[in-house]
Amino acid sequence: MERSFVMVKPDGVQRGLIGEIISRFEKKGLKLVAARFESLPDGRVQEQYREHLEKPFFPGLKSYITSGPVFLMVWEGKNVVPIVRLLVGATNPAEALPGTIRGDFAIDIGRNVIHASDSNESAAREIAIHFKNDDLVGYSAIA
């Protein structure tokens, strides 16, 4: 089964957008299989964003992500990674289309509300950083 890792960032949590975000994914037909509130430790932020460690914006990204609780989720479904990316919108909210989460709720690339895996490989890696296999629920088929 295909899975994606999604994180509502501290600005999204503080602005009360968790319910709206979950609702959009649920209405699309995706299944929430794990969720947890957490204040991320520095080490896991570095693992999560390892490809950005040397970027000039990384110190700001790390202090923003650790500035308050985040809401970590795993979503499941056919083509879930590209579907979630489509619903989330472009990384830079100035380029995100209306109707997407970032297009509707953000204006600043440094406060872009939500993170979503960009490939199946990233999803597997990111899920393993934040969740154990036992944390993921299974849905039995309804007869």
Q: Which is nearer to ligand CMP, 18 or 109 (CB)?
A: 109
Q: Which is nearer to ligand CMP, 57 or 139 (CB)?
A: 57
- The answer to the question of whether 112 is labelled as a binding residue is yes
Tokens at 72, concatenated: 């970590």
Binding site for ligand CMP (CB under 6 A): 49, 52, 57, 61, 91, 109-110, 112, 115
Q: Which is nearer to ligand CMP, 60 or 139 (CB)?
A: 60
- The answer to the question of whether 85 is labelled as a binding residue is yes
Known active-site residue 130: no
What is the distance of C-alpha 66 from the center of its chain? 15
- Determine which helix (DSSP H) or strand (DSSP E) holds 73, and give its type and residue range: strand 70-76
Q: Which amino acid type is present at position 5? A: F
User: 132 exposed, middle or buried (CB, 10 Å; 0-12, 13-18, 19+)?
Assistant: exposed
Q: Which amino acid type is present at position 10? A: P
Instruction: Tell me how far, at minimum, the Cβ of 31 lies from ligand CMP, in Å.
Output: 22
What DSSP state is assigned to residue 97?
A: P
Residues contributing to the annotated binding site for ATP? 9, 57, 85, 91, 102, 112
- Catalytic residue positions, numbered: 115
